[in-house]
Structure 1
Amino acid sequence: MPMIDVYATAGTFADKHQLAKDLAATLMGIEEVPDIPMFRQNTAGFVHELPAGDLSNVDGESNYVRVQVLTNAGALDRDKQLAVVSRFTSMIADAAGDPTLTDRTWVLLTEAVPGGWGLGGHANTNEELVAAAREQLSR
Structure 2
Amino acid sequence: MTTKPTAFPYTTALALLRAGEPVELLAGAHADSPLRLTSLLEALLTAEQLHASRRQIGQVTDILRRDQKFVRPGPPSPHLVRLRQQQAAARQAGNQAQLAYVKAAQQLVRSWALEVPARLAVETFADQWIAQHIPMDATSG
TM-score (norm 2): 0.29
Relative contact order higher in (CA < 8 Å, ≥ 6 apart): 2
Which of these two proteins has the greater Rg computed from alpha carbons?
2
